[in-house]
């Protein structure tokens, strides 16, 4: 029996964070779905639902601050609460990316353009799977899993390059596609950024378990002149 | 129950002033204590926290020259009404003190005594066990009930004092800096215990340790002194609110350690 | 210097440490304190030695009447009936009757009768005595002196402390005198004193500490008076006792009011009451001190549980203060046991052979006997006075020991 009250409240915040994560997953999936179906109404729904995610983030932030103010968490508890602030911010940003994708769907309108939906779908599936596992690792504080996930980001990057090439070819083939292909470029870009955010979440997990702030770099990210 | 307010508060004070002879130690306190919750009273030293707390079960009566004006209502009755016997008030509103002060008797006797003098008719052994279980001490002392209470550690002694207070079956438990003589671990144990007890009892705790107020209480009242050295209540609200976003500058300065 | 390492640094930071001088001062003070203790211990030792010195030693014994006039053989061979005969024929009829009343002669043991014959018929007397140290180191001086003055006397070693000394009552002859009457007198007196003073003193202390309003002028006057009364000379109490208990309350203290044939108020009851008066201030102040030492937190704990003031005092304050009160009582008893002056004034008898039998008896007490004996010219009385002092000290010590054991038992239970 020790600090039951604090532990109880931390668990509640963690639950809220998981709910937020699944909201983001749903939003992303739905935005890709609306792109696939070119369903503007659905896209608008996704766009507006982001408000809910933002509110969740503020609620989590508030709870964390109250706990810090009233409970004097230290050591592991303090790292966990600090990480919760960071992770909720990352998830919220990912929600914004889903919102961005939905906005692209609206802006595309009914313009006829061959969307590389298969590749985009794959990117989204991979990024969301990473997010899902990263949050799971965060909750159970599984540092090993957290360390292994960022490597998968390279795959997302790879597919991002592929989609980019496809879209550039599209522009070259048909210059009147340029505006809309550019919009689609943002969709791919957003999905690629999601992978990076997941890496950040994994870094926080490692911070909680070991207390070390390390950047998990994949080999390909190094830039050489 | 006849009461002028719409809600049944555990304790309600109205324009409470407390004097020591001519010195007004506390002025103008109007406070409503939520039942079955933990309310903490914080504030700088000498602002009258203990004075207010003691007035809730008329322990101030023992200080020569102390005087109360205004009302303190418990179950709709002013406990300072001349027709009310303070002994009865103290039996309904128990108290735990700053320094653990078990009687120099056995552990068993410490818990049983209060019940016995209040004409408890049922099985004392059961009562002692029940109270020690509630105060999270039973496991540690169940085989040592006849040992002197003073052989326990400070933290255990304080939990024994809580068990002793519970044995009288009070509705409210007042605690005046119950952890200030204890080490941090024992302190956290008492706080956990308070949390558990708050399901059944109203707890009012005075503490000079604002972190403790933050950790352990649902409501916080902040007291400070005026230029005439009279203490008064500056802020009262939900603890999380008071600790993250106090309404008054003075509260903020106090809880962030800039004053007091 | 004590310091093998030179810890005194060369830099003195502008201060003169002056360590050597300070140490020297400390040494001097320590020596002074030690000396004071030593003086006390030596004084005590001298006191005890001088008492013991008187209580044992060589004596010269001589028959006043030549025993060959009465018996032809050694007394050890005389039969019991002959012994009784010796007594009955050689003592006055009055004396025989007195002896017979004390215990019929025929029922007495042979040993008893032998002693009786030696003392009463042969009138065997101690004619000279010598101190313990003299007896050990220069016994021949004494022997020569005795041989010169009492050629008939035999010299033998005698312990003045004998079972008879405890069993016998007063006598004009030192070697026959005992302390029994005084011992009972003292014990009875203390019993009366304590059973009156203890409840009164403790009650008064409780009232003053727990009930009376503190810091009013009245309570301050009372307090000051009690404190001062503890220092009033005991003879004043004697005069007070004489006026109040012996004279004013004579019907009560003499027992006449209760149908007792008392002659006057000079009874053990009057003396016990006087003594109670004497130790009351000591008892009260000590009990007050003990009650004041009860931590307030204990009272608060009790009140906090809904206890009344009486429950708080009875269950917590008094038990906690009891060891302190007992200490005060020990002091008071010691004082009362050794007091002489008030008893003399109240009218303790100096010569009495009857043990106190009730509240209205005449009585004597050990200190009175000691005082009485030391004023006698014969050396032998001084010897038995020394033994009486030993008895008194033993009584004090054993009473205190009982009280201390009791107190420790209470304290250990905490
Ligand atoms: N028994 C007393 N007699 C007189 N003044 C007192 C007494 N107890 C407290 N006070 C005064 O009342 C004020 C409030 O004291 P207290 O309630 O003990 O403060 P706190 O518990 O907040 O430190 C202080 O100024 C203090 O000096
Ligand atoms: Mg206080």
pLDDT for C144 beyond 70: yes
Q: What is the mean pLDDT of chain B?
A: 91
Q: Which of B238-242, C246-250, C253-257 has the lowest mean pLDDT?
A: C253-257
Q: Which chain A residues touch B195 with a CB distance below 8 Å?
A: 4-5
Q: How confident is the model at residue A222 (pLDDT cuts 50, 70, 90)?
A: low
Instruction: Respond yes or no on whether ipTM tops 0.90.
Output: yes
Measured in angstroms, the CA of A78 and the nearest CA of chain B are apart by 14
Per-residue confidence (pLDDT) for residue C13, from 0 to 100 = 63
DSSP β-bridge partners for residue C125: C62
In whole angstroms, give the CA distance from residue A221 to residue A203.
16
Average pLDDT score over residue span C148-159: 84
Tell me which residues have their CB within 5 A of the ion that is ligand 2. B 50
DSSP string over B164-228: HHHTT--SEEEEESTTTTS-HHHHHHHHHHHHHHTTTSEEEEE-S-HHHHHHH-SEEEEEEE-TT
Question: What values do phi and psi take at C404, rounded to 5?
Answer: -65, -40
pLDDT for B1 beyond 70: no
In whole angstroms, give the CA distance from residue C8 to residue C383.
64
C contact test, residue of B104, B165, B169 with most C CBs within 10 A: B104
Cβ contact (<8 Å) for B243 and A69? Answer: yes
Q: Which of A149-158, A176-185, C164-173, C369-378 has the lowest mean pLDDT?
A: C164-173
DSSP β-bridge partners for residue B176: B206
Using one digit for the tens of pLDDT, what is the confidence trace for C367-400? 888 988 888 888 888 888 999 999 999 988 888 8
Q: How confident is the model at residue C9 (pLDDT cuts 50, 70, 90)?
A: low
Average pLDDT score over residue span B183-204: 91
* pLDDT cut 70: percent of chain A above it: 95
Chains that touch C (3 or more CB pairs under 8 A): B
Q: How confident is the model at residue A223 (pLDDT cuts 50, 70, 90)?
A: low
B260 Cβ below 6 A of ligand 1: no
pLDDT for C102 beyond 80: no
**Residue B211 · residue A38 · CB < 8 Å:** no
pTM flag (> 0.90): no
Per-residue confidence (pLDDT) for residue C63, from 0 to 100 = 81
| Top mutation candidate among B16, B25, B229 for ligand 1, by most atoms within 8 Å of CB | B25
Using one digit for the tens of pLDDT, what is the confidence trace for A162-196? 999 999 999 999 888 888 999 999 999 999 999 99
Q: How confident is the model at residue B219 (pLDDT cuts 50, 70, 90)?
A: very high
Per-residue confidence (pLDDT) for residue A5, from 0 to 100 = 82
User: Which positions ≥6 away from C211 have C-beta within 8 Å?
Assistant: C309
Q: Which of B236-245, C69-78, C250-259, C262-271 has the lowest mean pLDDT?
A: C69-78
**Residue C126 · residue C380 · CB < 8 Å:** yes
Q: Which residue has the higher pLDDT, B173 or A220?
A: B173
Which residue has the least CA distance to atom 6 on ligand 1?
Answer: B20
User: Which positions ≥6 away from C32 have C-beta within 8 Å?
Assistant: none
Q: How far is CA C310 from CA B79, B119, C197, C211, C306, in A?
A: 22, 15, 22, 10, 12
Q: What is the mean pLDDT of chain C?
A: 86
In whole angstroms, give the CA distance from residue C95 to residue C102.
11
Residue A28: both structure tokens together: 């992303």
pLDDT for C16 beyond 70: no
C361: left (phi over 0), alpha (psi -120 to 50) or beta: beta
Taking Cα atoms as reference points, which of B235, B170, B178 lies closest to residue B50? B178
B contact test, residue of C214, C215, C303, C304 with most B CBs within 10 A: C304
Q: CA angle at residue A31 from A27 to A35, to 5 degrees?
A: 170
Per-residue confidence (pLDDT) for residue C334, from 0 to 100 = 87
pLDDT for B41 beyond 80: yes
In whole angstroms, give the CA distance from residue C308 to residue C317.
12
In whole angstroms, give the CA distance from residue C176 to residue C170.
8
**Do chains A and C touch, with touching meaning 3 or more CB–CB pairs less than 8 Å apart?**
no
User: Which positions ≥6 away from C226 have C-beta within 8 Å?
Assistant: C208, C281, C284, C285
Per-residue confidence (pLDDT) for residue B2, from 0 to 100 = 43
B136: left (phi over 0), alpha (psi -120 to 50) or beta: left
Which residue has the least CA distance to atom 24 on ligand 1?
Answer: B46
**Residue A163 · residue A119 · CB < 8 Å:** yes
Burial class from Cβ neighbours inside 10 Å (0-12, 13-18, 19+) for residue A64 reads: buried
Average pLDDT score over residue span C130-155: 86
Q: How confident is the model at residue B140 (pLDDT cuts 50, 70, 90)?
A: very high
| Domain parsing of chain A, residue ranges | 3-221
Average pLDDT score over residue span A157-161: 92
Q: How confident is the model at residue C90 (pLDDT cuts 50, 70, 90)?
A: confident
Using one digit for the tens of pLDDT, what is the confidence trace for C40-77? 999 999 999 999 998 888 888 888 777 777 777 777 77
Q: Which chain B residues touch A3 with a CB distance below 8 Å?
A: 188, 192
Window 72-111 of A: residues touching B by CB (8 A cutoff) are: 72
Q: How confident is the model at residue C262 (pLDDT cuts 50, 70, 90)?
A: low
Per-residue confidence (pLDDT) for residue B6, from 0 to 100 = 57
Per-residue confidence (pLDDT) for residue B96, from 0 to 100 = 94
- Helix axes A153-173 and A117-140, enclosed angle (nearest 10): 160
Average pLDDT score over residue span C345-366: 81
Q: How far is CA B154 from CA A209, B114, B157, C65, in A?
A: 35, 21, 5, 83
* Domains of chain C, each with CATH number or no CATH: 58-158 (no CATH), 180-413 (1.10.3720.10)
Q: How confident is the model at residue C12 (pLDDT cuts 50, 70, 90)?
A: low
Burial class from Cβ neighbours inside 10 Å (0-12, 13-18, 19+) for residue B14 reads: middle
Q: What is the mean pLDDT of chain A?
A: 91
CATH of domain A3-221: 1.20.58.220
Per-residue confidence (pLDDT) for residue A123, from 0 to 100 = 94
Average pLDDT score over residue span B118-146: 92
Using one digit for the tens of pLDDT, what is the confidence trace for A60-110? 999 999 999 888 888 899 999 999 999 999 999 999 999 999 999 999 888
**Residue C333 · residue C341 · CB < 8 Å:** no
* pLDDT cut 90: percent of chain C above it: 30
pLDDT for C28 beyond 80: yes
Q: Which of B219-223, C31-35, C50-54, C73-77 has the lowest mean pLDDT?
A: C73-77
Q: How confident is the model at residue C411 (pLDDT cuts 50, 70, 90)?
A: confident
């Amino acid at each position: 029996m020790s600090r039951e009250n604090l532990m109880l409240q931390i668990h509640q915040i963690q639950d809220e964070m998981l709910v937020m994560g699944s909201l983001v997953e749903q939003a992303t999936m739905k935005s890709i779905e609306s792109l696939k179906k070119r369903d503007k109404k659905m896209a608008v729904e996704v766009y507006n639902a982001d408000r809910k995610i933002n509110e969740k983030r503020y609620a989590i932030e508030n709870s964390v601050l109250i706990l810090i103010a009233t409970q004097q968490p230290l050591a592991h508890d303090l790292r966990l609460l600090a990480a919760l602030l960071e992770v909720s911010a990352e998830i919220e940003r990912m929600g914004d990316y889903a919102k961005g994708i939905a906005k692209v769907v609206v802006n595309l309108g009914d313009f006829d353009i061959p969307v590389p939906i298969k590749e985009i779908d794959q990117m989204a599936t991979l990024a969301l799977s990473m997010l899902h596992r990263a949050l799971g690792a965060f909750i159970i504080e599984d540092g090993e899993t957290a360390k292994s996930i960022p490597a998968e980001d390279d795959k997302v990057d790879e597919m991002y390059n592929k989609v980019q090439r496809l879209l550039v070819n599209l522009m070259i083939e048909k210059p009147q596609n340029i505006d809309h292909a550019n919009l689609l470029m943002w969709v791919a870009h957003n999905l690629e950024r999601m992978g990076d955010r997941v890496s950040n979440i994994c870094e926080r997990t490692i911070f909680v378990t070991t207390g070390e702030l390390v950047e998990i770099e994949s080999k390909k990210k190094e830039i050489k002149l | 129950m006849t009461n002028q307010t719409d809600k049944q508060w555990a304790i309600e004070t109205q324009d409470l002033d407390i004097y020591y002879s001519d010195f007004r130690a506390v002025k103008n306190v109007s406070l409503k204590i939520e039942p079955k919750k933990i309310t903490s009273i914080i504030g700088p030293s000498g602002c009258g926290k203990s004075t207010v707390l003691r007035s809730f079960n008329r322990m101030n009566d023992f200080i020569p020259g102390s005087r109360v004006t205004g009302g303190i209502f418990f179950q709709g009755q002013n406990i300072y009404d001349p027709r009310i016997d303070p002994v009865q008030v103290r039996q309904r509103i128990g108290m735990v003190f700053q320094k653990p002060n078990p009687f120099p008797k056995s552990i068993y006797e410490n818990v049983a005594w209060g019940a016995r003098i209040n004409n408890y008719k049922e099985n004392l052994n059961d009562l002692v066990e029940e109270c020690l279980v509630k105060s999270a001490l039973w496991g540690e002392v169940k085989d040592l009930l006849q040992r002197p209470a003073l052989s326990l550690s400070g933290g255990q002694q304080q939990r024994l004092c809580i068990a002793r207070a519970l044995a009288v079956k009070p509705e409210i438990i007042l605690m005046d800096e119950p952890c200030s003589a204890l080490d941090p671990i024992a302190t956290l144990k008492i706080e956990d215990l308070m949390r558990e007890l708050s399901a059944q009892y109203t707890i009012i705790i005075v503490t000079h340790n604002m972190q403790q107020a933050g950790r352990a209480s649902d409501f916080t009242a902040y007291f400070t002194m005026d230029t005439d050295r009279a203490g008064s209540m500056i802020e009262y609200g939900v603890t999380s609110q008071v600790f993250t976003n106090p309404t008054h500058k003075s509260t903020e300065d106090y809880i962030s350690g800039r004053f007091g | 210097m004590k310091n093998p390492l030179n810890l005194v640094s060369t830099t003195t930071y502008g201060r003169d440490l002056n360590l050597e001088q300070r140490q020297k001062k400390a040494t001097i003070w320590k020596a002074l304190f030690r000396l004071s203790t030593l003086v006390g211990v030596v004084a005590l030792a001298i006191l005890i030695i001088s008492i013991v010195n008187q209580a044992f030693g060589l004596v010269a014994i001589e028959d006043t009447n030549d025993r060959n006039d009465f018996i032809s053989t050694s007394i050890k061979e005389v039969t019991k009936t002959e012994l009784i005969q010796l007594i009955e024929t050689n003592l006055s009829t009055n004396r025989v009757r007195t002896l017979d009343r004390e215990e019929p002669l025929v029922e007495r043991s042979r040993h008893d009768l032998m002693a009786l014959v030696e003392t009463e018929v042969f009138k065997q007397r101690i004619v000279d005595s010598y101190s313990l140290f003299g007896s050990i180191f220069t016994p021949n001086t004494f022997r020569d002196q005795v041989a010169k003055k009492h050629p008939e006397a035999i010299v033998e070693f005698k312990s003045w402390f004998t079972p008879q000394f405890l069993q016998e009552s007063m006598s004009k002859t030192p070697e026959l005198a005992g302390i029994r009457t005084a011992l009972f007198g003292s014990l009875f007196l203390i019993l009366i004193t304590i059973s009156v003073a203890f409840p009164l003193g403790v009650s008064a202390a409780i009232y003053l500490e727990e009930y009376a309003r503190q810091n009013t002028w009245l309570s301050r006057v009372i307090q000051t008076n009690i404190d001062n009364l503890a220092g009033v000379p005991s003879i004043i109490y004697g005069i007070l006792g004489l006026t109040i208990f012996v004279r004013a309350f004579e019907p009560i203290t003499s027992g006449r009011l209760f149908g007792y044939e008392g002659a006057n108020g000079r009874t053990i009851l009057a003396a016990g009451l006087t003594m109670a008066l004497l130790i009351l201030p000591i008892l009260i102040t000590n009990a007050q001190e003990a009650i004041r030492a009860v931590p307030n937190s204990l009272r608060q704990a009790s009140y906090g549980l809904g206890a009344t003031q009486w429950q708080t005092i009875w269950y917590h304050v008094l038990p906690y203060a009891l060891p302190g009160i007992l200490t005060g009582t020990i002091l008071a008893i010691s004082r009362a046991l050794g007091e002489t002056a008030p008893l003399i004034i109240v009218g303790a008898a100096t010569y009495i052979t009857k043990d106190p039998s009730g509240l209205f008896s005449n009585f004597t007490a050990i200190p009175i006997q000691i005082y009485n004996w030391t004023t006698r010219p014969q050396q032998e009385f001084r010897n038995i006075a020394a033994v009486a002092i030993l008895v008194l000290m033993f009584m004090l010590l054993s009473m205190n020991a009982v009280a201390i054991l009791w107190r420790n038992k209470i304290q250990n239970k905490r």
